[in-house]
Amino acid sequence: MDIRCEQFRESSRKALSDKHLQAAMATLEKLLTLGRRMGFAGLEDAESLRDRANDIKNRSLDRLGDYLERLEERVTRLGGTVHWARTASEAREIICRLAADRGVRTVVKGKSMVSEEISLNDALKEGGVEVFETDLGEFIIQLAGEPPSHLVGPAIHKTVEQVSRLFSEKFGVRRMEHPGEMTLFARRALRQRFLEADMGVTGVNFAVAETGTVILFENEGNIRLSTTLPRVHVALMGIEKVIPTMEDAAVLMKLLARSCTGQKLPTYVSMINGPRGLEESDGAGEFHLVILDNGRTRILEQPDLRETLYCIRCGACLNACPVYLKAGGHAYGWVYSGPIGAILTPQLVDRKQASVLPFASTLCGACRDVCPVKINIPRVLLALRRRYAEDPDWEDASPLMEKGLLALYARITENRRLYDAVSWAARVVQRPLTRNDRFVPAVRTLAEKTGRPEMRPLASKRFSRLWRERGKSGGCDG
Amino acid sequence: MGSRSEILAAIRHAADRGTRKGPVRTEPLIAGMDPRDAARRWREAEAGRASARDALADAFARECQALSVKVHWVRSHEAAADLLGSIILDRGIQKILHWRTPLLDRLGIPELIGRMGIEAMESREAGSDALNKRFAPADAQLGITEADYGLADSGTLVIRHGPERDRTASVLPPVHVAVLEKDRILAGLDTLIIRLRLDLAAGTSPDRCITLVSGPSKTADIGISLVLGIHGPGEVHVILLDLP
């Protein structure tokens, strides 16, 4: 997928004036946060479950190599094949070669962010393979040629009317009014695809090292169909998806759906142990697990960034984030959006391109409060900001003047007397330029022209002075 | 083998750089539940189930209702067959897929099919590559399976697949009917995991696929409006066998 992170400001501005998007985000936020709260209310030990989940992820990463080897051994013993891909291009190559070798002409896909990360669809298409996204949201954005806007609902940025028009244009059918009709239409349109497909490609929610089990979550049924009907199943996973045991999986399973939509479990959980058995009449005859690095080992190396890999892709942080809920998913410019996108993308793609993302946050911590695996996202955001400011390998194309001004600001605020002096001087200097606590029109025009329309003068009275004055007259109430 | 060793080396290098949080791990790599513990807990769960059968079944039915799953309580095999017959009749269903299992045989499914004059295909035939199937599996309007367990706290059906227990019957047709024996309702996911742990310890080869079904297929991808039956069945029935 194309990287457009550097357009964050522009995209988010557009998003702010997109009435439908704002309404959709507001609805999503209400539904999913309520759902999450209700889902967690039913858990008697939610806090300790989150602690256990954090520990499971930590333990898994501590001995990641061992767990991946064990996973490989188990999957192989079950009759599956394990492939290792260092880079996105290698992963594409592996899957395309597999498709070519097995005479695959059509592929059906379940929703998989990692497959978008490696831009798999385009590669398969170049090899002459037809690729059908089968998750309804993904199906819609595939038709529209757009990137996903939300982890759970990739197409929520589209109105019902827009989807209706899209179906009508692409399939030559009459315009439909209701989501029910359109959903039924999509079901019919995709049924034949499932029946004829040669290969199903999915992601992986959890890979259990002890047993070689791949666990897949979904609500629609497209993943079940993609792993039942075609003769080949390819499951693509980042290295961080492996966990030690089924008991560990149960902890994470209890948290994932609750954090995502408030459901106790998604409609379907598939626990797959290799290809189908000899006597079975359905299920893929071939099972391939592609284990992907693509920069994750580098994340693993950094003690202060490592927890980025704990993420189980629930989307709770998106639903809690005041920035994401206004800016929308497209603004983040890549596969992963919201708070997790802000910390993951800069570590996986070109650092300069993604440099705005760690700064697109108020550090309010709402994400940290809802994360089922207790990733301290604000802490990671600050660590990334520090790198962009100080680490020569990360240094972003910040103008020297901005760096200089920030250093000066830091110096001033560290020293009380200096701060008071500068503060007083600034107020003296700005007085002729301000009226009623706003800049005079001439200055305001200049501010707009230089792209800083929100600039305000310093308040005529400092808060500390107001506080002292109010205190003398008996203080304030409330 | 190049990438494999590169990735594992990179991981080891990351570990060597002291990225471990906390003390060095000395516990075993795989530390699942001790099988003896699991056996004890399974026995406790069974005892609990025996004394709380009704409570568990009630909880299961409540959760199912919240998920729009229809639960039908029956006290005999004949009643189960009659119920199935009425589900089929009410919907004017003509083509069904069904598992062939001892339990479903006891329900008299083959006879029922004969009496009703509908077309039925054993779903294992549906999944095969045979060319002259009775009808196209995609045309089936209803699928009948068993459920190995129910999970009371989430209204979930646990289906272990295998040679006579295919996946197609419960996912391809628009209506799914699952026959579940009342005393196979477990408290929840944790109890199921204990069962799987015991099977693992006993050396039984794992099921190639286990599906947990919680309600009908659903999506809200268009206009955040909930619609049932996008790819999987939009209608799910549980025939709860409560034999005396």
- The Cα B57–Cα B187 span in angstroms is 9
Q: How far is CA B79 from CA B73, B100, B148, B182, in A?
A: 9, 19, 20, 15
Indicate yes or no: CB of A269 within 8 angstroms of CB of B212: yes
- pLDDT tens per residue, range B9-41: 999 999 877 555 555 566 788 988 999 999 999
**A221, B197: Cβ pair inside 8 Å?**
no
Q: Residue A24's closest CA among A177, A155, A182, A139? A: A155
Phi and psi torsions of A426, nearest 5°: -65, -40
A241 CA to chain B: closest CA distance, Å? 14
Q: Taking a C-beta distance cutoff of 8 angstroms, is the pair A167, A155 a contact? A: no
Q: What angle in degrees, to the nearest 10, is found between the helix axes of A400-414 and A416-430?
A: 120
Compute CA A340 distance to the chain's CA centroid, rounded to the nearest angstrom. 5
Nearest-by-Cβ selection for A86 from B3, B123, B219: B3
pLDDT in tens, B70-80: 999 999 999 99
Structure tokens at A154: 């990739």
Distance of residue A238 Cα from the nearest chain B Cα, in angstroms: 12
Q: Which of residues 217-276 of A touch B (CB under 8 A)?
A: 219-222, 224-225, 227-229, 239, 244-247, 249-250, 253-254, 263-276
The answer to whether the beta carbons of residues B123 and B168 sit under 8 Å apart is: yes
| Chain A closest-CA separation from residue B244 CA (Å) | 31
Contact A219, B212 (CB under 8 A): no
Contacts of A239 in chain B (CB under 8 A): 7, 11
Q: How many interface pairs between A and B have CB atoms less than 8 angstroms apart?
A: 247
Distance CA A108, CA A138 (A): 12
Contact A266 B25 (CB under 8 A): no
Residue B72 DSSP class: E
CA distance A108 to chain B (A): 13
Distance from CA of A216 to the nearest CA of B (A): 10
Sign of CA dihedral A48, A49, A52, A57: negative
ipTM of the complex: 0.95
Which among B41, B91, B7 is positioned nearest to A90, based on CA atoms?
B7
User: Max alpha carbon distance in chain B (Å)?
Assistant: 72
- Tell me how far apart the alpha carbons of residues A18 and A24 are, in angstroms, rounded to a whole number: 10
Residue A478: per-residue pLDDT? 46
pLDDT for the residue numbered A455 = 84
pLDDT, tens digit, 9 for 90 and up, residues A18-46:
999 999 999 999 999 999 999 999 888 99
Partner B contacted by A186 (CB < 8 A):
yes
Q: Specify the pTM.
A: 0.92
Contact B230 A84 (CB under 8 A): no
**Regions of chain A short of the pLDDT cut 70:** 396-399, 472-478
Provide the pLDDT for residue B212: 98
Q: Answer whether A291's CB lies under 8 Å from A203's CB.
A: no
Amino acid A1 reads M
Name the amino acid, one letter, at A100.
Answer: A
A184-201 residue pLDDT tens: 999 999 999 999 999 999
Q: In this predicted structure, what is the pLDDT of residue A117?
A: 96
Give A 292-321 residues with CB within 8 A of chain B.
293, 297-298, 300-303, 306
- Radius of gyration, alpha carbons of chain A: 26
In this structure, how many other beta carbons lie within 10 angstroms of the beta carbon of residue B236?
27
Closest residue on chain B to A283 (Cα): B167
Using DSSP, state whether B167 is helix, strand or coil: coil
Give every residue of chain B whose pLDDT is below 70, as ranges.
1, 18-26, 127-128, 130-131
* pLDDT value of residue A101: 98
What is residue A175's predicted lDDT score, i.e. its pLDDT? 95
Amino acid (1-letter code) at residue B99: W
pLDDT for A94: 98
DSSP per-residue codes, A265-331: S-SEEEEE-SSPPTT-SSS-SEEEEEEE-TTHHHHHH-TTTGGGGG-----HHHHH-HHHHHH-SGG
